[in-house]
Structure 1
Amino acid sequence: MDPLADCALAFPEFAPGEIWLVGAGPGDPRLLTLLAVHALVQADEIFYDALLDPRVLRLAKPEAILTPAGKRGGKASPHQDDINDALIGSARLGRRIVRLKGGDPFVFGRGAEEMRALVQAGFSVRIVPGLPSGLAGPALAGIPATVRTINHAVILATGHREVDSETAAEWEKLARTGQPIILFMAMGHLAEIAAAFWRGGLADDTPVAILENATTDRERILETTLGAAASDAAAQGFAAPAIVVVGQIVRMRQELRGFLATWHS
């Protein structure tokens, strides 16, 4: 039974043979959008990312096929071409397919690559945006992405690439903007990225927050500085998945955290 059936909202039809790229949000299932729930309860097959809360998959109908398709940095993972082929193969069987991704499909989620492959294969694709982890996680921790008196922009960046002379120069350029930087998938290269930020002009005492397992009941938050971020994270055993926030917006947490309603149940 669709829990949204009696809702006063009109939801698009999920036709057989369609693929919906659905964002699951930052982690907590309560942060799913209504359209994401609408897709999940109707899907015939759900290709889901690693690290998703298992309660999200409980929204699927009992007969739905649940297929893991998550990619994990540094670990054995399905190749992207194989994921694309599996999606296309299931759609050709006339199934309603949900490709379920953490965060938002188009924010470091390979959503564009998958959509291109599916469209080129002749399939109809619908995008269901999700709350990006790098914005929602810090927000719930009391770190606003923008504060009128602090910043006029915010930079979202992925830190999964090896830091060599070329990528180090890119990090230095980002540091010179003076704007807060929110890093996805950066724990493996945090020391090198922090060093590049320092060379780009950010002071050692620039505030940094690291949010491990953001929005979940396993969440841990480390407030530190640019100069100490890598060593503090290692000393306290912080690891992926984590969001790293660099910049003066981190200081807002000390002002706001005492007034935030409890999020975790």
Structure 2
Amino acid sequence: MNTNTGKVTLLSAGPGDLDLLTLKAAKALAAADVLLLDDLVNPEIVTLAPQARVIRVGKRGGCRSTPQAFIERLMRRYALKGLHVVRVKGGEALLFGRAGEELAVLRGAGIPVEIINGISSGFAAAAGLGISLTHRRHCHGVSFVTAHTEDHGEPDWAALAATRTTLAVYMGMRRIDSIAAALLASLPADTPAAVVQWAGGSNERRLMSRLDRLAADATNAGFGSPAVILVGSAVGESVERVWAIDDERRDEPATMQTDMPNAREAIAQAA
């Protein structure tokens, strides 16, 4: 290995709120020479890396994106110059973040790699709704799934429904109609379902619905990407639904903004 080789840190920036960064992440940012910044990361994160050169390498589904191969070349180039490169990814780097491809390239070049975990948007969405993804009264697990397979197809929704786990669907808003229709072939129409847009951020939006109305409710309420779709009976424990029932709005989708009371306050007011 080249003795002048630097290193790359794959850093998980979480869902947006900088308070959710780990101390380890903050330390890595402070020591960074080069920051490769994903599009969905809170832009204020650069204030934690005062000495770093910032290069924005946004990747968004359905939008113009920086090619993955170019990002990998940047990491390799700067690390081989002896620099500490911090590749900042939204959410959790090891969950739908193409970390596997980047690890292979860097290891192939003999570049040391460190991984720093963070909070995925699926967990942030559950926190916003005030639910446990693995509530033992409802399920025995949770399935994290992307709506897009490598060949641009879709996952086996019938097989996923058969697991009876809570489904956390990433990158699915453009296909929410087909996702709901596919799941309805295996799940009851009244299965609780929700959409959380910008989960964990200051502009978070949440919508509670049921599977047969999910696509229409989300569309009518103007929900779009980036968002997480949650489906399963555990979702029905949401304080959003408590709030809607107490307001006698049983026939309307329950939506709340982050300026509404938090989960604990909502429960207290609903009691």
TM-score class, shorter: 0.7 to 0.9
Which residue does 2:222 correspond to in 1?
Answer: 237
Q: Does 1:260 align with 2:263?
A: yes
Q: For each residue in 1:31-78, what CA deviation from the matched residue of structure 2 results, as whole angstroms up to 9, or x when unmatched?
A: 0011100100110011011021122121111x3100111211111111
From 188, 197, 201, the counterpart of 2:183: 197
| Structure 1 Cα separation of the partners of residues 114 and 70 of structure 2 | 20
C-alpha distance in 2 between matches for 1:139 and 1:126: 28
| Separation in 2, partners of 1:57, 1:209 | 32
Superposed CA deviations along residues 209-229 of structure 1, whole A, max 9, x for unmatched, are 100011111111000111111
Structure 1: runs of 5+ lacking an equivalent: 1-14
The C-alpha deviation readout for 1:157-179, integer Å capped at 9, x for no partner, is 00134998x736x1111112222
The total of aligned residue pairs comes to 245
Matched residue, 1:207: 192
Q: 1:140 matched to which residue of 2?
A: 128
Q: Does 1:79 pair with 2:82?
A: no
User: Residues 61-97 of structure 1, C-alpha deviation per residue, up to 9 Å, x if partnerless?
Assistant: 1x31001112111111111111101110111121111
TM-score, normalisation: structure 2: 0.85
TM-score under structure 1 normalisation? 0.86
* CA deviation vs aligned residue, 1:6-54 (integer Å, no higher than 9, x gap): xxxxxxxxx9711000000111111001110010011001101102112
Instruction: State the partner residue of 1:187.
Output: 173
Question: Which residue of the other structure, out of 172, 178, 196, is the alignment partner of 2:158?
Answer: 172
* SS of residue paired to 2:203: coil
1:54 paired residue number: 43
Q: Is the 8 A contact 2:148 2:154 kept in 1?
A: no
Give ranges in structure 2 of 5+ residues lacking alignment. Answer: 244-260, 266-271
Take 1:75 and 1:88, find their aligned partners in 2: how far apart are those partners?
Answer: 25
1:102-113 to structure 2, matched below 5 A, reads 102-113=90-101
How far did residue 260 of structure 1 move? 2.5
| Matched residue, 1:123 | 111
Contact 1:160–1:189 (8 Å) recurs in 2: no
Q: Secondary structure at the match of 1:30?
A: helix
Shift of 1:137: 2.5
Inter-partner Cα distance in structure 2 for 1:38 and 1:141: 31
Cross-structure match for 2:254? none
Question: What is the Cα-based RMSD across aligned positions, in Å?
Answer: 2.2
- Cα distance in 2, alignment partners of residues 216 and 56 from structure 1: 13
Q: CA deviation at 1:140?
A: 3.5
